Amino acid sequence: MPVVIGMVVLVRSLLGRAFGRKPRTPYGNRLPPRIHDRLSLSQTVGRRVVVIGDVHGCASELDRLLAALARPDDLLVVVGDLVNKGPASPQVLRLVQERGVRSVRGNHDDQALAAWRAWDAGLPIPKPAKHGWVQGLHADLACELEALPFTLDLPAYGVTIVHAGLLPGADLRDQPLSDLFTMRDVVPASTKGAGSPAPGGNPAWEANAVGGTGQPWAKVWAGPHHVLFGHDAARRLQLEPYATGLDTGCVYGGQLTACVLPALDHAGKPVEDSSPLPEGLPGQSIRLQGGKGIEAQVVSLPSAKTYSDKFLKLEQAAQVPMVHGEL
């Protein structure tokens, strides 16, 4: 099967050179069927939505979190970066497939997919120390990565899920795809390019992937929809009025964190739920959309161990808790 798919990749590559390439993802993959996905109230009614932070190959933690927290009818969503860094990326993809977990696309998901396509086509794997696990990955699991959208909108909740962030003042479909899964900070737009004020009189911003070089985009984001995101493990849990950052560094020995949105009835109102959250999962209540939206629960499962010490080494080198760049 990989040989057949590899021939297809080669033929598409040759046709692309002859007739012009179609738009691609930042790491050169085909665009997913839906770049910006959407689940209506009819698709979520009566079901809690459990949004989980960056997994990064930590299959054991994801399995434990789902076992402790998830109910049979829950809609499960990850904020991206299912794979890389941790010990069990293929197992995460298999678990996601078997449990029907949705996810948006993280930068590591897109990188890993490009590495798998290279291996499948008989080409050298880029950064083999990082992506060597894709060798032998079954095509059906690669398809899980290929289908990931860049955003997922939940209009009944007033929530958008994205891996890294959204550029304030810009329409969703005008957002550069690379920003959606790499940005951490925003800086005022330069006089070159998009230097004019955004609609509504808000200042125009430019995204920056390196944290600590501007303002955290989540602090600038003023809605109206609430954004659930990951990617920024250095800042851990981020609780801003219109944005909640769920990457709490599971792969670095931190926690795997989830935001539990309540089930809604057909009128879009929260269904009363008297069941307590599981014991042993520290949590807190938050209210979305600047305190005017629904109430949600944020819970965290401690990581079993430190799988990657890269973040720790960078913190030690800086001698202070660090806002990282490309991790």
Long-range pairs of 219-222 with CB within 8 A, sequence gap ≥ 24: 220/168, 220/186, 221/165, 221/166, 221/168, 222/168, 222/290
Virtual torsion, Cα 34, 82, 98, 77, nearest 10 deg? -60
**To 5 degrees, how large is the angle CA 314–CA 180–CA 94?**
80
- Choose the CATH number for 34-101+148-162+218-318 among 1.20.1050.140, 3.40.50.300, 3.60.21.10, 3.40.50.620: 3.60.21.10
Q: Where are the domains of the chain?
A: 34-101+148-162+218-318
pLDDT at residue 199 in the model: 43
Predicted structure pTM score: 0.86
pLDDT at residue 22 in the model: 73
When pLDDT is cut at 50, 70 and 90, the band that residue 209 belongs to is: confident
What pLDDT, in 10s, does the model give residues 84-116?
999 999 999 999 999 999 999 999 999 999 999
Residue 197: pLDDT over 50 = no
CA–CA gap between residue 32 and residue 215 (Å, rounded): 31
Which residue did the predictor score with more confidence, 247 or 316?
A: 247
pLDDT at residue 21 in the model: 60
pLDDT at residue 313 in the model: 54
> Which token pair is 172?
């969703």
Residue 8: pLDDT over 50 = no
What pLDDT, in 10s, does the model give residues 273-320?
888 888 888 889 999 998 899 999 999 999 999 998 765 554 444 443
pLDDT at residue 1 in the model: 38
Asked if 227 and 243 touch (Cβ cutoff 8 Å), the reply is yes
pLDDT at residue 42 in the model: 93
Peptide bond into 188 cis (omega under 30): no
> Which token pair is 272?
């009363």
Mean pLDDT of 177-203: 67
* 3-class DSSP assignment, residue 2: helix
* 3-class DSSP assignment, residue 5: helix
Mean pLDDT score across all residues of the chain: 86
CA distances from 299 to 16, 234, 260, 286 (A): 46, 18, 8, 11
Label the pairing between strands 238-240 and 243-245.
antiparallel
Other CB atoms within a 10 A radius of the CB of residue 200 amount to: 7
**To 5 degrees, how large is the angle CA 26–CA 99–CA 284?**
85
CA–CA gap between residue 161 and residue 174 (Å, rounded): 16
CA distances from 327 to 6, 46, 97, 280 (A): 30, 38, 26, 29
> Which burial class, exposed, middle or buried, applies to 194 when counting CB atoms under 10 A from its CB (0-12, 13-18, 19+)?
middle
CA 145 to chain CA mean position, Å = 12
Q: Which of 157, 62, 158 is nearest to 103 (CA)?
A: 62
Report the Cα–Cα distance between both ends of the chain, in Å, rounded: 33
Strand partners, 186: 207, 215
pLDDT at residue 10 in the model: 40
What does R_g of the chain's alpha carbons equal in angstroms?
Answer: 20
Asked if 131 and 125 touch (Cβ cutoff 8 Å), the reply is yes
CA–CA gap between residue 294 and residue 92 (Å, rounded): 30
What pLDDT, in 10s, does the model give residues 15-73?
344 444 678 999 999 999 999 999 999 999 999 999 999 999 999 999 999 999 999 99
